[in-house]
């Protein structure tokens, strides 16, 4: 994980809301993937804050709310959200949803040379919480559950 070139190879266009940029960068350069994010000039990092619906802000943190709002504003059909409430609200808003694990599985299916097991371990080592159910599902889908 931390290798944003996977995203670049799978998605021709990746928009990142201003609010998400601020969340990522606020942790400082020692935070997970900050250097990679800063160097990824192919990402379309939005320069201005969004006018986010209070309905979204009442249920979600600013990151998930801004991802959904940007997708709705720009008619973007698919969003990347890992948090379960955010995923549910995105679907209720008519959006398709993927997450970090979904992106990794798609990359592996498309021939990107990676180990889902190692990628999950890197995520866990960086403090990203994943349920046992999600981990088992991902390993099974990738054929790495032995």
Domain parsing of the chain, residue ranges: 5-98, 113-142
Q: Which of 54-58, 76-80, 119-123 has the lowest mean pLDDT?
A: 119-123
Number of H helices, E strands in the chain: 9, 4
The predicted-structure confidence for 84-142, as pLDDT tens digits, reads as follows 999 999 999 999 999 999 999 999 999 999 999 999 998 888 888 888 999 999 999 99
- The Cα–Cα gap between 135 and 141 comes to 10
DSSP letters spanning 5-28: HHHHHH-S--EE-HHHHHHHHTT-
Q: Which of 18-27, 62-71, 78-87, 122-131 has the lowest mean pLDDT?
A: 122-131
What tokens does 79 get? 């969003």
What tokens does 114 get? 């990676």
Q: What percent of the chain has pLDDT over 90?
A: 72
Q: Is the pLDDT of residue 1 over 50?
A: no
pLDDT the model gives residue 26: 87
Report the range out of 7-16, 17-26, 37-46, 88-97 with the highest average pLDDT.
Answer: 88-97
pLDDT the model gives residue 141: 93
Residues 80-107: b if buried by 16+ CB within 10 A, e if exposed:
bbbeeebbebbeebebebbbbbebbbeb
Q: Is the pLDDT of residue 12 over 50?
A: yes
């Amino acid at each position: 994980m931390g290798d944003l070139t996977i995203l670049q190879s799978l998605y021709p266009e990746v928009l990142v809301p201003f609010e998400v940029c601020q969340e990522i960068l606020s942790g400082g350069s020692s935070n997970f993937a900050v250097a990679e994010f800063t160097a990824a000039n192919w990402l379309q990092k939005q320069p201005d804050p969004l006018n986010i619906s209070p309905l979204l802000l009442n249920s979600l943190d600013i990151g998930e709310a801004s991802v959904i709002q940007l997708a709705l504003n720009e008619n973007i059909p698919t969003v990347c959200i890992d948090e379960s409430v955010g995923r549910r609200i995105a679907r209720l808003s008519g959006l398709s949803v993927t997450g970090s694990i979904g992106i990794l599985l798609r990359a592996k299916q498309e021939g990107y040379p990676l180990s889902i097991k190692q990628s999950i371990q890197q995520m866990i080592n960086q403090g990203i919480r994943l349920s046992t159910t999600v981990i088992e599902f991902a390993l099974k889908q990738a054929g790495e559950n032995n």
